[in-house]
Amino acid sequence: MTRDVTIDRLGAQGDGIVETGRAPLFVPFTLPGESVRADLFDGEKRGTPLEILKASPERVTPPCPHFGACGGCELQHASPAFYAEFKRAIVVEALSRHGIETEVAPLVPCAPGTRRRVTLTAVRADPKVLIGFHEAHSDRIVPIGPCPVAMPGIVEALPSLEKLALLLIDRKKPLKLTVTQTAAGLDIAAHDAAKLNEERQRQAVQHALSAGYARLSSQGEILVQARKPHVFFGDIAVEPPSGGFLQAVTAAEDAMADLVMAHLAKSKRVADLFAGSGAFALRLARKARVHAVESEADALAALDGASRLAQGLKPLTMERRDLYRRPLTFKELKAYDGVVFDPPRAGAEAVCEALAKSVVKRVAAVSCNPQTLARDLRTLIDGGYTLLSVTPIDQFLWSHHVEAVALLERQR
């Protein structure tokens, strides 16, 4: 069914929303105030825009030829000013839902061509493979050529990655390739790959060497490492685990770290919770004694290796611990005057409940999910902390995803 509709607002995931008086109608790739001819489906709950009848003055020409098909970017059609305020408003609204009224800083921007880490999907299209990103709301793959968000080294490697996928792909399921641009070249981790016989493994290794990859892993096993795939946390080189967590954009990580470092500058002993491979811990250890807590053994091993080679660090200890099941206790937290936490999307509910009862002076909360961040900040505020600032940070350019750093202090 085709219908002409007017977009009332954008939803939290970047879709245009039409208030119908019943269930809202979601129309992607549109902007508030636009009149759109849409093809409705899913019981008239969703629509595909067929024609923009009246465009918003905030509409711009998308920079990517795949926009509208590729599901990686939802907001390339929005002006920079509109886009920045939309992302800031996601954080404002999440806080408001938990009764937190505070000034939220302008969005820290993200430049095109800076994404150092992407996850590509490959599917069989005999005798070739298609490699790219998922189409919006679909399992179909959109093959990509240019990609304005990824670093040039990743884009230039797409033809060689297609050849690699042909060697690794299973006949029954899609292949995932996590590709990271490091100082030594590309670090590639394959997931859901085929079980490789000796000949196919030899071919994959030879391809990786000829293509100049720094490291190639499959199913968690390193097939070949030509060079150590270092990234830098500040000025400290770290060899991250294959396929492990890493902030997707260096500048975004630096912006988060700058806020955290400034806030905890007077702290003598700091706990870094959900520490990963040490993006905050290693920087903080320049000035303070740091205890890093993380559940993933590979991430802690990377942090340990980097700390042993770095010069000029204060004591840095590490602990493997599931903070969801075993948050630090009141007694343990007494040892610290500063805490930073950067949890997965589920947030840090148990950690914040413990902090709310603690005497820790300063807390820096880093989050990739404004909804769980707001919930956790409510707990800390109710426990006696004062919220000093909230800064949204763009890392996934032209998507609805937004990071945020909140800084809190306990008054005497």
Residue 342, annotated ligand binder?
A: yes
Contact 83, 394 (CB under 8 A): no
Query: Positive or negative, the Cα torsion across 322, 323, 329, 332?
Result: positive
Instruction: Compute the distance between CA of residue 116 and CA of residue 109 in angstroms, rounded to an integer.
Output: 16
Instruction: Compute the distance between CA of residue 38 and CA of residue 19 in angstroms, rounded to an integer.
Output: 14
DSSP conformational letter for 192: S
Of all helices (H) and strands (E), which one includes residue 224? strand 221-225
DSSP conformational letter for 176: E
Residue 258, annotated ligand binder?
A: no
CB atoms within 10 A of CB 47: 25
Which structure tokens are listed for 73? 């970017």
Q: Report which residue type is found at 256.
A: M
Instruction: Compute the distance between CA of residue 412 and CA of residue 410 in angstroms, rounded to an integer.
Output: 7
User: DSSP per residue over 6-37, as a string?
Assistant: E--EE-TTS-EEE--SSSPEEESS--TT-EEE
Contact 104, 137 (CB under 8 A): no
Long-range contacts from 3-10, C-beta under 8 angstroms, 24+ separation: 3/37, 3/38, 3/40, 3/47, 4/35, 4/36, 4/37, 4/38, 4/53, 5/35, 5/36, 5/38, 5/47, 6/33, 6/34, 6/35, 6/36, 7/31, 7/32, 7/33, 7/34, 7/36, 8/32, 10/86
CA distances from 78 to 14, 56, 83, 198 (A): 10, 9, 6, 50
Residue 70 annotated to the active site: no
How many CA atoms, within 13 angstroms, populate the side-chain half-sphere of residue 111? 8
Of all helices (H) and strands (E), which one includes residue 317? strand 316-320
Residue 274, annotated ligand binder?
A: yes
Q: Report which residue type is found at 298.
A: D
Residue 225, annotated ligand binder?
A: no
Q: Which residues are annotated as a binding site for S-adenosyl-L-methionine?
A: 247, 274, 294, 342
Q: Which residues are annotated as a binding site?
A: 247, 274, 294, 342
| Active site amino acids | 368
